[in-house]
Structure 1
Amino acid sequence: MFTKQVFACAAAALLSTGAIGTAVASDWKPTQPIEYIAPANPGGGWDTLIRTTARVLQEEGIAQQNFAPINIPGGGGAVAWAQIAAKKGNPHTMFAASPPIILVPLSGASRFNHKDFTPVARLITDYSILLVRADSPHQSAAELFEAIKANPALSVGGGSAPGSMDHISVAGAAAAAGVEPARLNYIAFSGGGEAMTNLLGGHVAAVITGAGEASAQLQGGQLRALAVSAPERMAALPEVPTYVEQGIDFTFDIWRGIMGPPDMPEAAVRYYEDMYQRMMQTEGWAKARDQLGWIDAYQSSAEFGEFLDGQLEQFSGVLGDLGLIRR
């Protein structure tokens, strides 16, 4: 059953998230540039995380090697994961991860899951946001979902595969508003950027995406936000109402972190843990984080791994409700 509790992904996560500790420094150091992979096209949440952290690491003088952002789109992340899985033990490759690393394998769209990779660190949490074109007739999320009830052909786009993060988020909101989730016309695009392009072109009625990655598009005036999935209005987007304000009892949190190939050396993991902790204590990070509306939610490699196992259990039930889980 779709409930507020089922979809509040970061609620359990925050229980295990405390103040950033001091990592044990590693003697290991990278000896070549880091392949820093966003498993999607430019413009989405993974891409934003990779490019933002790469920039801050460089500007703050923390990284001893260049972190080179690389986009590998396809399959909601599956194409990139297949390539990364082949780099067993490589300490110079890392990638952005979020709920799709759990959801896509559960739906049968990837043979690789989170257990095939090395958790490095969870960094932030974010919220999803429901967007329409500025000239859309829908003035609220409640109005949009009423229109979808009357006309199920109306589509909502997202930058992740069916059964993945964007789909789960909008399906949960729709269910809370009285729309049968399995009948929601969700259109999957290869990344947030492509989803935005199709929204602006009038090919979908709305788009669901991360609030952080939508900030720049909203400033351009071509798009309008109907709702954010936070429990209360976000400081970075104070004009955007929550679903709860509109009588839709729904919240949804989007965590994001960094993972590496299978069997990444423990010394390399320790080095990167320490690097990210130091990055998150800088003014450059605080400025970027606040501009994007992110919330610090650091976890070490071990904590992140345990959290991912919990997400697997939680999302197995969610996909079952959508009829999308494959065993």
Structure 2
Amino acid sequence: MKKILFLFSFSIVSILAACSTSKSDSDENWTPEKPIEFVAPGGAGGGWDTTARMSAKVFKEEGIIKKDIGVINKTGGGGAVGWAYIAEKAGNPHHLFIASPPLIDVPLNGQSQYDHTDFTPIANVIADYGAFVVRSDAKWKNLNDLFTDMKKDPAKITVIGSSSPGSMDHIQFVKIAKEAGVDITKIKYISEQDGGELTALLNGSADVFSTGVAETIEQVKAGKIKVLAVTSEERLKGDVISEYPTVKEQGIDSSFVNWRGFFGPSNLDERAVEYYVSKFKELNQSEAWKEIRNKYGWDELFMSGEEYKAFLDEQREEAKDLLDELGLAKK
């Protein structure tokens, strides 16, 4: 009789333990309860917008994320408007945003109260690169020709970019120029954020356009511009862009990566972070995403967790040193 009671008691305890384990497992698995919003803190067609929309497209078409994903644009302040919008969503796991070096540069130069430490890093998804462009009839045949003239009189040559002074298009150019021996404190940089950069280059208002690789392809095909250099470590693969020489192959030991990744609001539940990291890993490994990367000339640069956080902190220190030298870092 005692044996029967023991077995019965053991069975009840086992069942309760199993139920408890099942409930615990269920509690540990988070999934979205409503549609997800991806925020692009810039205009339609830009790098943030394209990366967010292509990510959402692959997530849906490959069935990686079941819930609908909408992409919205929050423009202004070089990204600051979008960051302020996300900052108000603290703890809400249904809002993510795409970011890149301006999330570090813009706060450092005092144009935003929010920086990368105010958000939850999820995963970096791609590496894009800068391109230094001149008119097709410009006298400079390569980057060293340009820098030879800039060493003589940096202020005589006008560099234009879409980013504000002290942000990405400016920083990527001065980083390379500094390594080449140009006095970066005397470089004349103009910010044009209304889409007139190429017009300014072609009509002679600017001499050099610091931009992204993807923005050069159609104009190179049309014969209007030439690319003096790209900031990748090695030559890029793809139609047209494979012809672009790198900074390094021209004897200048420097590079610049336009990393691009996703962040969430602050105070996210760790289960939600784990969910998104796993989904972005699936995205990164999918053939559909590889095709997207090839189409836009993006490289693979997947990071998450502590690796991503450490990378961002290193990027901040590097950017701060340059901004300090330029006199653009906030005091």
Structure 2 length normalisation: TM-score? 0.82
Retained in 2: the 8 A contact 1:35–1:70? yes
| Amino acid in structure 1 at the alignment position of 2:175 | G
Retained in 2: the 8 A contact 1:159–1:166? yes
Retained in 2: the 8 A contact 1:107–1:319? yes
* In the alignment, structure 1 residue 264 sits paired with structure 2 residue 289: no
CA–CA separation in structure 2 for the residues paired with 1:135 and 1:155: 16
**Residue of structure 2 aligned with 1:155, choices 147, 153, 158:** 158
Retained in 2: the 8 A contact 1:93–1:261? yes
Larger Rg: 2
- State which drifts further: 34-43 or 141-150: 141-150
SS in 2 for 1:280: helix
Retained in 2: the 8 A contact 1:49–1:96? yes
Q: CA RMSD in A?
A: 2.4
Retained in 1: the 8 A contact 2:154–2:187? no
Q: Do the aligned partners of residues 126 and 282 (structure 1) sit closer, same or farther apart at CA in structure 2, a change above 3 Å counting?
A: same
CA shift, 1:200, in A, is 4.7
CA shift, 1:286, in A, is 0.8
CA–CA separation in structure 2 for the residues paired with 1:305 and 1:44: 25
CA shift, 1:216, in A, is 4.7
Retained in 2: the 8 A contact 1:45–1:213? no
SS in 2 for 1:115: helix
Partner residue, 1:299:
303
| Amino acid in structure 1 at the alignment position of 2:250 | Q
Structure 2: gaps (5+ residues) = 1-26
| Amino acid in structure 1 at the alignment position of 2:56 | A
* In the alignment, structure 1 residue 124 sits paired with structure 2 residue 126: yes
Q: Deviations over 1:63-122 (max 9, x none)?
A: 222322222222221121112111111212111111211111111111111111111111
CA shift, 1:248, in A, is 2.9
What does residue range 1-327 of structure 1 map to in structure 2 within 5 Å? 27-148=29-150, 149-150=152-153, 152-190=155-193, 195-196=197-198, 198-200=200-202, 202-236=204-238, 237-327=241-331
State the percentage of identical aligned residues.
43
Retained in 1: the 8 A contact 2:154–2:182? no
Structure 1: gaps (5+ residues) = 1-24
Q: Deviations over 1:22-67 (max 9, x none)?
A: xxx9632223332212212233322221122122222222222232
SS in 1 for 2:277: helix
| Amino acid in structure 1 at the alignment position of 2:123 | A
Q: Deviations over 1:116-136 (max 9, x none)?
A: 111111112222111223343
Q: Name the structure with the higher helix share.
A: 2
CA shift, 1:156, in A, is 1.6
Q: Which protein has greater RCO, CA pairs closer than 8 Å, 6+ apart?
A: 1
* Aligned residue-pair number: 302
Retained in 2: the 8 A contact 1:100–1:164? yes
